[in-house]
Amino acid sequence: MTKLRPSFILWPTLIALSCAVGIFSFAYVRMHINDESRLRFADESEAVRKEILEESGILGYARSLENLQGFFAASVSVERNEFDTFIEHARYAQTFPATRAFTYIRRVTAAERGAFVRMVRGDTSLEPRGYPNFSITPTSTSAESYVVTYVKPFASNEQMLGEDLLADPIKHAAVEEARDTGALTATSLFTYEGKKYFSIYLPVYKNGAPRGTVEDRRANIVGLLAATIDPEAMLAPSSNTPGAVPKIHITLINDATGTTGTTKSVIFEYNGEAGRNKEEPIPSRMGLSFTYQIGNTNWTLMLSRNITENLTPLEISLPYVGGVSAFIIILLLCGIFYSIFILVTKTSRAAEELAGKLLEAEQRLAETSTDVVLDLDAGGKIISINDSAMRLLGYTLEDVAGIHIGRTGMLGGSSVTDFMRELERALRGESLPPFELQLVKRGGGVLIAEANLTLLREKDVATGARLSLHDITTRKQAERALNESVTQFKRFAEAANDAILVLGNSAVLFANGRNEALLKYSPSELAPAGSFLRAAVAQESREAITNALERLERGGWAADTECTLLTKDRKRIFSVVSLSRVAYENKPATIVIIKDISARKIAEQRAAMENAIARTIRESTPETDAAKQLLGDIATVFHWQFGDIWMENQKTNEMECYNTWVQPGYNLLPFESKTRLLAFKKGAGLPGRVWETGKPKWIPSILNESNFYRKKEAEESGLLTAFAFPLIVGKTTIGVAEFFTDSKMDELSQELFDTFLSLGSSLGQFLKQRMANEEIARNLVDLKKFLLAVEWTEDSVIITDIEGIVQYANRAAEKTNGYSRAEIVGQKAGRLWGNLMPREFYKNMWDIIKYQQKTFTGEIRNRRKNGEEYLASVNISPVFDEMGIPRFFVATERDITQEKAVDRAKTEFVSLASHQLRTPLTAINWYSEMLLGGDVGSISDKQRSYIEEIYNGGRRLVILVNSLLNVSRVELGTFVVNPEPTNVADVCDVTLKELALLTNSKRLTLTRDFAADIPVMNMDRSLIQIIFQNIVTNAVEYTPEGGRVTVTLRKEGESLLFKVSDTGIGIPAANQGKIFEKMYRADNARDVKTYGTGLGLYLVKSIVDQSKGRIWFESKENIGTTFFVTLPLSGMAKKEGTKMLSPIRDVV
Amino acid sequence: MKILIVEDESALAIVLEEKLKKLDHDIRIAKDGDAALPLARSFMPSLMLLDLILPKKDGFAVLKEMKADPELAAIPVIVLSNLGEDDNIKKALSLGAKDYFVKSQHPINEIVEKIEATHIA
Inter-chain contacts counted by CB atoms under 8 A, chains A and B: 68
What is the pLDDT averaged over residues A1097-1104?
89
Residue A366 has pLDDT above 80, yes or no: no
Distance of alpha carbon A738 from alpha carbon A705, whole angstroms: 15
Question: Do residues A91 and A134 touch, judged by C-beta distance below 8 A?
Answer: no
- Partners of A592 in the beta sheet? A501, A579
pLDDT of A481-505, one tens digit each?
A: 777 777 777 888 888 888 888 877 7
The chain A residue lying nearest B8, using CA atoms, is: A919
Is A778 a member of any domain?
A: no
To which H or E segment does residue A675 belong?
helix A669-677
On whether residue A912 sits in a domain, the answer given is yes
Q: Does the structure show a pLDDT above 50 at B121?
A: no
Report CA-CA distances (Å) from A21 to A9, A25, A323: 19, 6, 8
Residues of A in contact with B107 (CB under 8 A): 925-926, 929, 1147
Task: Tell me which range, A358-362, A603-607, A841-845, is most confidently predicted by mean pLDDT.
Answer: A841-845
**Domain boundaries, position B70:** 2-117
Q: Do A925 and B82 touch (CB under 8 A)?
A: no
Q: Is A927 on the interface with B (CB under 8 A)?
A: yes
- A269 and A291 belong to one structural domain: yes
Q: What is the CATH number of the domain that holds A900?
A: 1.10.287
Share of chain B above pLDDT 70, in %: 97
Q: Domains in chain B: how many in total?
A: 1
pLDDT for the residue A532: 66
What confidence score (pLDDT) does residue A427 get?
Answer: 83
**What is residue A251's three-state secondary structure?**
strand
Least Cα separation, residue A921 to chain B (angstroms): 6
B105 touches chain A (CB under 8 A): yes
Residue A358 scores a pLDDT above 60: no
Pair (A92, A239) in one structural domain: yes
CA A901 to chain centre: 62
**Is residue A626 domain-resident?**
no
Q: Are residue A461 and residue A581 in the same domain, yes or no?
A: no
A257 or A572, which is more confident: A572
Q: Which of A596, A629, A648 is the last residue of a domain?
A: A596
CATH of the domain at A216: 3.30.450.350
B98 interfaces chain A, CB cutoff of 8 Å: no
Q: Tell which phi-psi region holds residue A104, choosing left (phi > 0), alpha (psi between -120 and 50) or beta.
A: beta
Residue A960 sits in the same domain as residue A1006: no
| pLDDT of residue A1123 exceeding 90 | yes
Beta strand extents in A977-1070 (DSSP E only): 980-982, 1005-1010, 1017-1019, 1044-1052, 1055-1062
Q: Are residues A947 and A989 in the same domain?
A: no
**Of the ranges A240-244, A846-850, B37-41, which one carries the lowest mean pLDDT score?**
A240-244
pLDDT attached to residue A277: 53
Same domain, A696 and A644: yes
Q: Taking Cα atoms as reference points, which of A1030, A1036, A1029, A1027 lies closest to residue A1109?
A: A1027
Q: Are residues A163 and A217 in the same domain?
A: yes
- Element spanning A877, H or E: strand A869-880
User: Does A425 share its domain with A522?
Assistant: no
Q: Which residues contact A70 (CB under 8 A, 6 or more apart)?
A: none
Please state, rounded to an integer, the average pLDDT across all residues of chain A.
82
Of B15, B82, B102, the CB nearest to A930: B15
The CATH number of the domain holding residue B6 is: 3.40.50.2300
Phi-psi sector, A429: left (phi>0), alpha (psi -120 to 50), beta: left
Listed in sequence order, the residues at least 6 apart from B1 whose beta carbon sits closer than 8 Å to its beta carbon are B25, B26, B45, B46, B47, B119, B120
The stretches of A793-853 forming alpha helices (DSSP H) are 811-817, 821-824, 839-846
User: What is the predicted pLDDT for the residue at A644?
Assistant: 92
Which residue range(s) make up the domain with A559?
484-596
Supply φ then ψ for residue B34, to 5 degrees: -65, -35
Q: How many domains, chain A? A: 7
Q: Does A904 touch chain B (CB under 8 A)?
A: no
Q: From the CA of B106, how many Å to the nearest CA of chain A?
A: 9
Of A895, A912, A939, which residue sits at a domain end? A895
This model of the complex carries an ipTM of 0.89
Residue A1110 has a pLDDT of 92
The one-character DSSP state at A278 is P
Q: Identify the CA nearest to A289 among candidates A299, A300, A305, A279.
A: A300
Domain membership flag for residue A149: yes
CATH number at A583 reads 3.30.450.20
**Which stretch, A222-231, A386-395, A768-777, B111-120, has highest mean pLDDT?**
A222-231
Residues A868-875 have a mean pLDDT of: 89
**Are A431 and A575 in the same domain?**
no
| CATH number reported for the structural domain that contains residue A1013 in this entry | 3.30.565.10
Cis check: omega of the bond before A696, within 30 degrees of 0 = no
Chain A residues closer than 8 Å to B83 by CB = 911, 915
